[in-house]
Structure 1
Amino acid sequence: MACKVEDSTDFDDQFLTCPVCMLHFQDPKVLPCLHTFCKKCLEEWATKQQPLECPTCRTQVSLPDQGVNGLRTNFYVNKLLDFATAKKGTEPGVPCQVCEGGQGEAKSWCTDCAVLLCESCTTMHHKIPGTRDHELVSQEVMKANEGVDRFQRKRHCHKHKNQELVFYCESCNALVCTACTVIDHRPGKKHNPAEIATVAQKKKETLQELLQGIDPRLKEIQQSIDEVDKKMSKLIPSKDAATTQAKAYFRQLVDLLQNREKEILGQIDEQCRVDGKALQTKKEAIEFELAGLTSAQTFCQQAVEHGSDVHILEVGNQVQTRVETLLAKQLDLESNWSEFQFVENTVVATFEGRAKILGGLKTDVDVSKCKVVIKPPVQGFRCFAELTTMDKSGSMCFTNSKAVKATLQRPYSEYTWDTKNIQAQVQMKSGGVWEISYVPKFTGKHWLEVKVNNQQVAGSPFRVNVQSRDIPVLTIGKEGSGVGELKQPLGVTVDEDGNIAVVDQGNKRVQIFDADNGQSLKCFPADKNKLFGIVADSNGNVVVTSMGPNLHGVKCYSKEGELLNTLKPDCIKHLLGVAVLKDGRMVVADKQQKSCLLLQPDGSLIREIGKGQLQEPWFIAVDESRELFFVTDFAAHKVFVYDLEGEFKFSFSEKGQDEGQFQGPSGITLDRAGNVIVVNWDDGRMQVFGPDGSFIRTVVTVNGGAPYGIVLTPDGYIAVACFMRHCVEMYRYC
């Protein structure tokens, strides 16, 4: 469904086409993200991936226990498909779908059976007892494009097949028929069936209020899109101008290098010429001396070997003087020349590094204003930091992916030879926000260097201390009553802003901490009695349970700490854990009654669950996609699983110290895949179980802290309220 329908008679074929098979919808099913697909298409899609993702928006979907069949049917699309079929029936020659044209052309449409009928079959339809009350739409009405709202298939009870669904049981959140109100949903303490029209009108009013808020938001978004379009129109001219400037700049650099090359080559040629001339002169001088000495040698040798005594006496003195003079002469036989070489004043490797900073892309990013938030790193896990690029005014701004670089540096250690830096991966999350990820191999001190346009951002390199998985990456609070201090914390949850909200029982208050650095953000008094459970609802409010001699109730606070509501119905006796559904209903654990209670948003009882099975229920986690909730039973050393109708589904584990066994299970939470995470109060083991209760792994052992509540943060850490250590410890989960 990609097309918006302005009114019930204005729709196109695309609106009725499944985005997967590209055919008209067959049994259309709606995902929680409100995208519609054929039932068969979703079933095939679900076999290809787990967990299931919406084929359109990629939102992860946890299917109910019934699988795709348990998803809601898009009855509006069905109505439009029926209308399209009926409209086609107004065309000449369309056969009756009952007698297959044996009695004539289609003349009417049965809204109950969703078939076209000829005139004869229409008459018979009115006579048969089972169909005489069916609503028929005539050919004239269909031709006039009227009565599209009458093309609504009537819903019948799955238990009483001949009964139409005409009531809505608010306690069970279910459509029921008249027979159901007499048998299974009789009005009383546990059930309150009301006419569909009455309940639907209230829901329409609620949705209408939501619709009123959509148009201003759509206008705001459209204005933003228009602004983006304006900037996009400048994108290509900006690229062309920057490209021209870059090419001119690097041409100049190339020209400089080429000119320098010519200059150096010229120096080499000149040096070769000068040295050659000097060596030639030297050679000639030596050759002259050589010639004189050789001539004297020849003359002297001839006189000695062939001269007569008279001849020897006549020239002997002259020869002697000449030879002695030549031999005594000081000759410079050294050339005084050494081989010349080219010298790399700047080595290529160094220049390569410097070349990387030649030129750059000037954006609005001011590295002194950029912000980096580092998530606590754990050895062997993919760890994250978040960079926000800012301009001079401190506003978020864009830059390109190649401009952002990050490197994890590990100082040299004598205990390891592996000192290689890790090039971190950088990925844009949104305009101006970058996710930096890396996987450290070792524990200990590291440095994370973050650069934008080859400039260090403010504070870089950042010191990061990589912990092992058994050590908390962050400890929030310490014993005391001051700001940021805790005393006997019990329940813990994550609010809508991703912060950690803690039941500070000893100080009778709720305190909220920054999940990234553990800094206290705010605190507010909650109750004079003992506090226990805490959860954030879908509206961003904080719901707290308290127990004491005069009050065992539920209080709802705004995120600013303002008390909004106090619920103290007679049905509750001794509350512990609490979970809130998206529609405002609550599931609470009642220790005294040894059961769980499903309550309306006003605190009235819908039903009691687990009576006779539970011994000491503590904490609760809800999987709304499967309409199940999980409760830890401290005394039975088990986790019990029920559906929201109150039916027991299964339980898992037993008492023991082995893997998959419990020693006083306390806190419980779920991950995105529906896996169940449970911590033992007695021995501190935090274990993970599959959606069916099968043991998967042990996450960590929380030693000596008496862990109570736990919660999984959106970025993959588990916060544990440590009662005895007066703190909240955070461990890496995924």
Structure 2
Amino acid sequence: MASKFPTSDDFDELFLTCSICMRHFQDPRVLPCLHTFCRECLQERAAKQQPLECPTCRTQVSLPDQGVDGLKTNFYVNNLLDFAAAKKGSGAPCQVCKKSVEGSKSWCADCAILMCESCTMLHRNFPFSKDHEVTTEETLKAEGGISSFHRKRHCQKHKNQELVFYCESCKALVCTACTVVDHRPGKDHNPVEIATVAQKKKESLQALLQDIDPRLREIQASVKEVERKMANLAPSKEVATDQAKSYFRQIIDLLQKRERDILSQIDEQCRADGKALQTKKEAIEFELAGLTSAQTFCQQAVEHGSDVHILEVGNQVQTRVETLLTKQLDLESDWSEFQFVERTAVADIAEKVQDLGGVNTNFKVEVKPAVQGFRCFAKLLTLNSEGRSLVTNSEAITANMSDPSGKDVPTKVQMKSGGVWEISYVPNAMRNHRLEVKVNSKQVPGSPFEVQVHGKDTPALSIGQKSSGVEELDGPLSVAVDKDGNIAVVERPNKRVQIFDADTGQPLSTFPVDGECPFGIDVDFTGRVFVTSFGDNYGIRCYSKKGKLLKTLKPDCIKHPLGVAVLKDGRMVVADRTQKSCFLLKPDGSLIREIGKGQLQGPIYVSVKESRDMMIVTDGTAHKTFVFDLGGKLKIDFGKKGQIDGEFKSPAGVVVDRRGNIIVVNHSGGRIQMFGPDGTFIRTVTTVKAGSPNHGITLTPDGYIAVACYTGQCVKFYRYN
């Protein structure tokens, strides 16, 4: 819906004040974001701030070559300023004679001045201004007077000429004189009356206005949704707080009940043990009394008895004492001090307490493999159940990393897509680093994270081991990256393709492939998988991303297909070891041309960089790498058999990066080398220390080289850039 046209009461407040200087606009200029400021205000700000940011919306502005002077003038605001001055009428001085003459004033749209009655009469009588458009104060003050009010614009070259034409060829406003001199109608210029062009532009802008309305409603609905959520924030907090208190009160109640039970058990055990000990004590004391009495009687008889007395009672005393002495008595108590036993250590409980409830934030961090000296990444997911991002402001996210010594490692947070944020950093030390991630000053679940940083010769990630089971590999030969950044691997013994997540190494899918000896693999931009196989039932087979066989190609020219590369238009390049050449094929498998015949001895792998018209072939027999254009012309070849920089020992997998650098892995020894587009040796990227022989390689979107290690039964990932 179009905005209501402003009234004179709105001017000073809404339209005529610059938000920088807070005064009426002086030479108002429009930024690309459509916010208006005084020309001098923008110049002062641009002199202090590079790049210039809009003071209202903070959009970065790329100024034209002329600087602020090259920005468009806001003639609409100028019109409002003029109209506001004209509306003052009798209260404003004449802009010709400069006198504060009482009475009505008139406005000349050609000269953009306010005049008193006398000056208006003179203005109308002068030959040069008699045809000017003059509006009286009464007309200006009438209802709707502003709708017809405007300041005429004149040609910069022909000062007395009004701009009445628009040169469509030059996209410039011109006057009548310009159409005769500089913009004469013809093949280079096409001046058209302004009204005609303006009407078309108005119609296109009107269409845009109609497109804006649905978007405005969508944004307004979003604002209302945010307001609704803000209104629910306090009640939601209250409910969550009550739930948490209730939850922990129940746990406290359980602990207190357990405490009472244990104390009750202690009391009961104490009473039972006391009773048993009392009984034991009484039994022992009874035996003690009997023995003590016999002792006393025997002692009295010995010390004080006569011979007659001793003879009379001696046998009786002897029998009694001997009976007491030989009597088996239980003098030991089977009671031992009881004690409280900690069945679960306090430290273990403290650890488990961390798992007692939590706040569901829907935040998750995925830490990717890290390598010393390379830019590495972690991924923060902030999606709700509806798939929308819970965070839209990067300032709400903080990431802090420290190395093993506690020194800070600079981090950068950047949104990659809706709800997915990338945390990047460059670790300069190996071993464990600590990554702390917060959203709105609160730790995300699992933070701080432990990040293991490896050296460049240590694989950041390895996929697979020998087996025919899922997740494991047996004889991986070639690798490729699909349109989603996942890794597709072809296994020769298992005769299948497996697709893995390149970030985690987790298997995503697997499917069997036909052919006796599958070898090469590539994935086109639609996700279709192309696999070559040699031996009996050789050919080039195309599968859907779900593993359905779509077509099988067996061109007559192909005998022993190995490496394959699929072009954007569906054409294919296939290396054939028996034919000692490569073949450029149409999508239906028909031959376009043979490449490298007479130059190649044992081609194995191919890679194509269409933007540079490069087809790269590794030759394991010649120990060289060849570069052809797609027309079949040899551009360069480089390398020879050897172990030093720039030399090969049976080069195998090859890939080209965005800069046109050529990366080649040795079949034997595992050395991965980088060469410039002209074949010049640049550096050894890394050396695969185990798992040789090595075969296919590919580059992942986030800067890793994936290497198929045939006897190592795995795919290893090394940091590349």
Normalising to structure 1: TM-score of the pair? 0.51
Asked if 1:390 corresponds to 2:383, the answer is: yes
Asked if 1:445 corresponds to 2:432, the answer is: yes
Cα offsets for 1:7-66 (capped at 9, x unmatched): xxxxxxxxxxxx9xxxxxxxxxxxxxxxxxxxxxxxxxxxxxxxxxxxx9xxxxxxxxxx
Give SS of 2:612's match: coil
CA gap 1:673/1:224 in 2 versus in 1, 3 angstroms: farther
State the partner residue of 2:400: 407
> Counterpart of 1:623 in structure 2: which amino acid?
K
- Residue in structure 2 matching 1:706, options 678, 693, 702: 693
Contact map agreement 1:367 1:456 (CA 8 A) in 2: no
Superposition deviation, residue 539 in structure 1: 1.3
Asked if 1:524 corresponds to 2:517, the answer is: no
State the partner residue of 1:462: 449
CA gap 1:452/1:607 in 2 versus in 1, 3 angstroms: same
Decide which structure has the larger Cα Rg and report it. 2
Name the stretch that deviates more: 625-634 or 448-457: 448-457
Q: What are structure 2's unaligned runs of at least 5 residues?
A: 1-31, 33-61, 63-167, 171-175, 190-209, 234-357
Cα offsets for 1:78-124 (capped at 9, x unmatched): xxxxx969xxxxx99999xxxxxxxxx999x9xxxxx99xxxxxxxx
Superposition deviation, residue 439 in structure 1: 2.0
Contact map agreement 1:537 1:582 (CA 8 A) in 2: yes
Matching of residues 670-709 of structure 1 within 5 Å: 670-704=656-690, 705-709=692-696
> Counterpart of 1:534 in structure 2: which amino acid?
I
Q: How far apart in 1 are the matches of 2:212 and 2:464?
A: 41
Cα offsets for 1:403-439 (capped at 9, x unmatched): 212222445xxxxxx3224353222223422111122
Q: How far apart in 2 are the matches of 1:223 and 1:718?
A: 46
> Counterpart of 1:379 in structure 2: which amino acid?
Q
CA gap 1:616/1:226 in 2 versus in 1, 3 angstroms: farther
RMSD across aligned positions (CA) = 4.0
Superposition deviation, residue 461 in structure 1: 2.1
Q: How far apart in 1 are the matches of 2:633 and 2:386?
A: 58
State the partner residue of 2:548: 562
Superposition deviation, residue 646 in structure 1: 1.2
CA gap 1:228/1:671 in 2 versus in 1, 3 angstroms: farther
State the partner residue of 1:606: 592
Cα offsets for 1:481-512 (capped at 9, x unmatched): 00111111001001111111001111000001
- Residue in structure 1 matching 2:649, options 658, 663, 671: 663
Contact map agreement 1:545 1:554 (CA 8 A) in 2: yes
- Residue in structure 2 matching 1:514, options 482, 491, 501: 501
> Counterpart of 2:566 in structure 1: which amino acid?
V
Matching of residues 117-516 of structure 1 within 5 Å: 227-228=218-219, 230-231=221-222, 368-391=361-384, 395-410=388-403, 418-422=405-409, 424-516=411-503
- Residue in structure 2 matching 1:728, options 693, 715, 719: 715
Give SS of 1:506's match: coil
Cα offsets for 1:610-662 (capped at 9, x unmatched): 10000011111111112221111111111111111111111112221111111
Superposition deviation, residue 579 in structure 1: 0.5
Superposition deviation, residue 237 in structure 1: 13
Give SS of 2:557's match: coil
Contact map agreement 1:397 1:431 (CA 8 A) in 2: no
> Counterpart of 1:626 in structure 2: which amino acid?
R
> Counterpart of 2:616 in structure 1: which amino acid?
F
State the partner residue of 2:267: none
Superposition deviation, residue 226 in structure 1: 6.2
Contact map agreement 1:366 1:391 (CA 8 A) in 2: no
CA gap 1:230/1:506 in 2 versus in 1, 3 angstroms: same
CA gap 1:654/1:468 in 2 versus in 1, 3 angstroms: same
State the partner residue of 1:314: none
CA gap 1:646/1:459 in 2 versus in 1, 3 angstroms: same
Superposition deviation, residue 402 in structure 1: 2.4
Q: How far apart in 2 are the matches of 1:573 and 1:432?
A: 50
Give SS of 2:493's match: helix
Q: How far apart in 1 are the matches of 2:673 and 2:433?
A: 30
State the partner residue of 1:585: 571
Percent identity of equivalent pairs: 56
Give SS of 1:625's match: helix
CA gap 1:456/1:367 in 2 versus in 1, 3 angstroms: farther
CA gap 1:714/1:595 in 2 versus in 1, 3 angstroms: same
Q: How far apart in 2 are the matches of 1:225 and 1:538?
A: 36
State the partner residue of 1:534: 521
- Residue in structure 2 matching 1:648, options 613, 634, 659: 634
CA gap 1:400/1:662 in 2 versus in 1, 3 angstroms: same
CA gap 1:632/1:670 in 2 versus in 1, 3 angstroms: same
Cα offsets for 1:253-307 (capped at 9, x unmatched): xxxxxxxxxxxxxxxxxxxxxxxxxxxxxxxxxxxxxxxxxxxxxxxxxxxxxxx
CA gap 1:591/1:225 in 2 versus in 1, 3 angstroms: farther
State the partner residue of 1:214: none
Contact map agreement 1:403 1:454 (CA 8 A) in 2: yes
Q: How far apart in 1 are the matches of 2:688 and 2:594?
A: 33
Contact map agreement 1:544 1:556 (CA 8 A) in 2: yes
Q: How far apart in 1 are the matches of 2:653 and 2:679?
A: 16
> Counterpart of 1:699 in structure 2: which amino acid?
V
Q: How far apart in 1 are the matches of 2:215 and 2:480?
A: 34
Matched residues, number: 414
- Residue in structure 2 matching 1:616, options 602, 616, 625: 602
> Counterpart of 2:651 in structure 1: which amino acid?
P
Superposition deviation, residue 236 in structure 1: 11
Give SS of 2:422's match: strand
Q: How far apart in 1 are the matches of 2:435 and 2:224?
A: 37
CA gap 1:93/1:470 in 2 versus in 1, 3 angstroms: closer
Q: How far apart in 2 are the matches of 1:495 and 1:677?
A: 19
Superposition deviation, residue 395 in structure 1: 4.5
CA gap 1:392/1:533 in 2 versus in 1, 3 angstroms: closer
Superposition deviation, residue 368 in structure 1: 3.6
CA gap 1:612/1:223 in 2 versus in 1, 3 angstroms: farther
CA gap 1:223/1:628 in 2 versus in 1, 3 angstroms: farther
More contact order relative to length (CA 8 Å, sep ≥ 6): 1
Q: What are structure 1's unaligned runs of at least 5 residues?
A: 1-18, 20-55, 57-82, 86-90, 96-104, 110-114, 117-218, 243-364, 412-417
Q: How far apart in 1 are the matches of 2:483 and 2:216?
A: 27
- Residue in structure 2 matching 1:596, options 582, 599, 603: 582
CA gap 1:234/1:693 in 2 versus in 1, 3 angstroms: same
Superposition deviation, residue 563 in structure 1: 0.9
> Counterpart of 1:390 in structure 2: which amino acid?
L
Cα offsets for 1:429-463 (capped at 9, x unmatched): 23422111122232122332211122221222222
Contact map agreement 1:367 1:455 (CA 8 A) in 2: no
Superposition deviation, residue 235 in structure 1: 8.6
CA gap 1:714/1:367 in 2 versus in 1, 3 angstroms: farther
Contact map agreement 2:388 2:418 (CA 8 A) in 1: no
Cα offsets for 1:508-529 (capped at 9, x unmatched): 0000111111111111001241
Asked if 1:572 corresponds to 2:558, the answer is: yes
State the partner residue of 2:705: 718
> Counterpart of 2:683 in structure 1: which amino acid?
R
Contact map agreement 1:367 1:389 (CA 8 A) in 2: no
Give SS of 1:615's match: coil
CA gap 1:439/1:684 in 2 versus in 1, 3 angstroms: same
> Counterpart of 2:677 in structure 1: which amino acid?
P
